[in-house]
């Protein structure tokens, strides 16, 4: 049986330049408390730094 993905949360990746949340990803808060990625922002029409932002359900 597949193990449950404990500790994994869904986060939104938010553009640090315009604040748009362009992506969603899963991360393990225990191992990756903070995530930053270079992603393409549709609003800025270029690659910008996106930071993880915890989604509240
Ligand atoms: Zn942006």
* Other Cβ atoms closer than 10 A to 45: 8
Span from the CA of 27 to the centroid of ligand 1 (angstroms): 21
CA distance 5 to 16: 28
Q: Shortest CA distance to 49 belongs to which of 18, 28, 10?
A: 18
pTM of the predicted structure, to 2 decimals = 0.79
The secondary structure of residue 5, as a DSSP letter, is -
At residue 7, the pLDDT reads: 82
For 31, phi then psi, to 5°, come to -100, -25
Neighbours of ion ligand 1 (CB under 5 A): 15, 17-18, 20, 41, 43-44
SS3 42: coil
Domain ranges of the chain: 8-54
Kindly tell me if the per-residue pLDDT of 5 is higher than 70: no
pLDDT tens column, 13-55: 999 999 999 999 999 988 988 899 999 999 999 999 999 998 7
CATH (residue range 8-54): 2.20.28.120
């Amino acid at each position: 049986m597949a193990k449950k993905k404990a500790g994994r949360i869904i986060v939104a990746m938010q553009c640090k330049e315009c604040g748009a949340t362009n992506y969603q990803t899963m991360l393990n808060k225990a191992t990756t408390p903070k995530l930053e990625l270079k992603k393409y922002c549709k609003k800025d029409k270029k690659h910008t730094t996106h930071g993880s932002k915890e989604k509240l359900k």
